[in-house]
């Protein structure tokens, strides 16, 4: 039995963890060369991978991301895509999307955000986008949320067959920005305008005070307190006008 072959077969590529600095790389893209993440310092960025050009699920996703690009930009967030295909394949595919494809009421869609050429799979491996149990030469549908300090803040992975939920991707972005801005946490299914969660009390005295006298907080128990956070206040603080 060839041990070298076994080593290749059993290789699992590492992925950044939440709280890690985003791995650095230089790459050729459909919008020119980029130096990541330093080119995006001071901005949020969503780095996402797709399995292959000229595939239907990926096409639906790129059209949706392109359609929503301005919405993400208003939240100080840039989009950067990646697959292991070459630059000319990318260009031909994006041209085909614009000229021929209609989906979900969208047509004539121009993808303006960068799409990384990653034939060597160097970037995909750095970010753990190659999952050998799913596919050895195609990236899964990974989504990395990277904050203005180039820190990985959230990660969502989807299998090859499952198209992403873009409402959830946007919701997660706004929720993290809300947590940063207002020093709160967001509960299940939170959207702007919903109540937010206050961190549990750090002492018995604070817990008792919260339960008995706070007009601002609504406490179900000492560890579970929420408060109102106005939708317009959230959006005015986060979205570029």
Residue at 171 is within a domain: no
Residue at 18 is within a domain: yes
Q: What is the mean pLDDT of residues 91-113?
A: 97
Mark whether 33 and 135 lie in a shared domain.
yes
Residue at 212 is within a domain: yes
Residue 197 has pLDDT above 80, yes or no: yes
Among candidates 46, 62, 24, 80, which has minimal Cα distance to 176? 46
pLDDT on residue 213: 61
Residue at 176 is within a domain: no
Q: How confident is the model at residue 62 (pLDDT cuts 50, 70, 90)?
A: very high
Contacts of 54 (CB under 8 A, 6+ apart): 89, 93, 96
Q: Which residues are annotated as a binding site?
A: 141
Residue range of the domain that includes 188: 183-238
Residue at 44 is within a domain: yes
Per the model's pLDDT, the better-predicted residue between 80 and 205 turns out to be 80
Mark whether 63 and 100 lie in a shared domain.
yes
Q: How many domains are contained in the chain?
A: 2
Mark whether 131 and 212 lie in a shared domain.
no
Residue 90 has pLDDT above 90, yes or no: yes
Mark whether 202 and 90 lie in a shared domain.
no
Token duo for residue 42: 């001071």
pLDDT on residue 4: 44
Give me the CATH number covering residue 51.
3.40.30.10
Residue at 123 is within a domain: yes
Token duo for residue 174: 């706004």
Residue 2 has pLDDT above 70, yes or no: no
pLDDT on residue 204: 59
SS (H, E, C) 143-209: EEEECCCCEEEEEEEECCCCCCCHHHHHHHHHHHHHHHHHCCECCCCCCCCCCEEECCCCCHHHHHH
Mark whether 23 and 122 lie in a shared domain.
yes
Among candidates 72, 239, 79, which has minimal Cα distance to 144? 79
Between the CA of residue 92 and those of 13, 47, 64, 67, 96, what are the distances in Å?
A: 30, 21, 18, 19, 6
Between the CA of residue 213 and those of 11, 183, 200, what are the distances in Å?
A: 57, 21, 16
pLDDT on residue 162: 93
Mark whether 127 and 24 lie in a shared domain.
yes
Residue 106 has pLDDT above 70, yes or no: yes
Q: How confident is the model at residue 104 (pLDDT cuts 50, 70, 90)?
A: very high
Q: What is the mean pLDDT of residues 67-89?
A: 96
pLDDT on residue 134: 72
Residue 1 has pLDDT above 70, yes or no: no
Mark whether 130 and 189 lie in a shared domain.
no
Residue at 178 is within a domain: no
Mark whether 90 and 53 lie in a shared domain.
yes
Task: Quote the pTM value.
Answer: 0.89
Q: Could you list the active site residues?
A: 58
Q: What is the mean pLDDT of residues 180-198?
A: 96
Mark whether 58 and 114 lie in a shared domain.
yes
Whole-angstrom Cα distance, residue 68 to residue 173?
Answer: 13
Whole-angstrom Cα distance, residue 75 to residue 72?
Answer: 5
User: For all residues of the chain together, what is the average pLDDT?
Assistant: 89
Residue 218 has pLDDT above 70, yes or no: yes
Per the model's pLDDT, the better-predicted residue between 133 and 113 turns out to be 113
Instruction: Identify the weakest region by mean pLDDT among 18-22, 99-103, 133-137, 220-224.
Output: 133-137
pLDDT on residue 3: 42
């Amino acid at each position: 039995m060839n041990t070298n072959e076994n080593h290749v077969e059993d290789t699992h590529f590492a992925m950044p963890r939440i709280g890690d600095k985003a791995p650095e790389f230089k790459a050729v893209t459909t919008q020119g060369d980029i130096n990541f993440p330093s080119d995006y310092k001071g901005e949020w960025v969503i780095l996402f991978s797709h399995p292959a050009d000229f595939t239907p699920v990926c096409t639906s996703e790129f059209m949706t991301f392109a359609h929503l690009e301005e919405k993400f930009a208003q939240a100080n967030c840039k989009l950067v895509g990646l697959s292991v295909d070459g630059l000319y394949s990318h260009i031909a595919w994006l041209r085909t999307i614009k000229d021929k494809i209609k989906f979900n009421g969208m047509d004539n869609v121009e993808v303006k955000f960068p799409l990384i050429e990653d034939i060597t799979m160097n970037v995909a491996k750095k970010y753990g986008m190659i999952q050998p149990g799913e596919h050895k030469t195609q990236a899964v549908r990974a989504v990395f949320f990277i904050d203005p300090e180039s820190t990985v803040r959230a990660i969502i992975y989807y299998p090859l067959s499952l198209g992403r939920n873009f409402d959830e991707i946007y919701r997660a972005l706004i929720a993290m920005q809300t947590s940063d801005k207002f020093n709160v946490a967001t509960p299940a299914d939170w959207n702007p305008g919903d109540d937010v969660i206050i961190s549990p009390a750090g002492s018995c005295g604070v817990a008792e005070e919260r339960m008995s006298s706070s007009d601002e907080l609504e406490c179900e128990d000492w560890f579970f307190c929420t408060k109102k956070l106005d939708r317009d206040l959230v959006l005015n603080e986060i979205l570029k006008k």
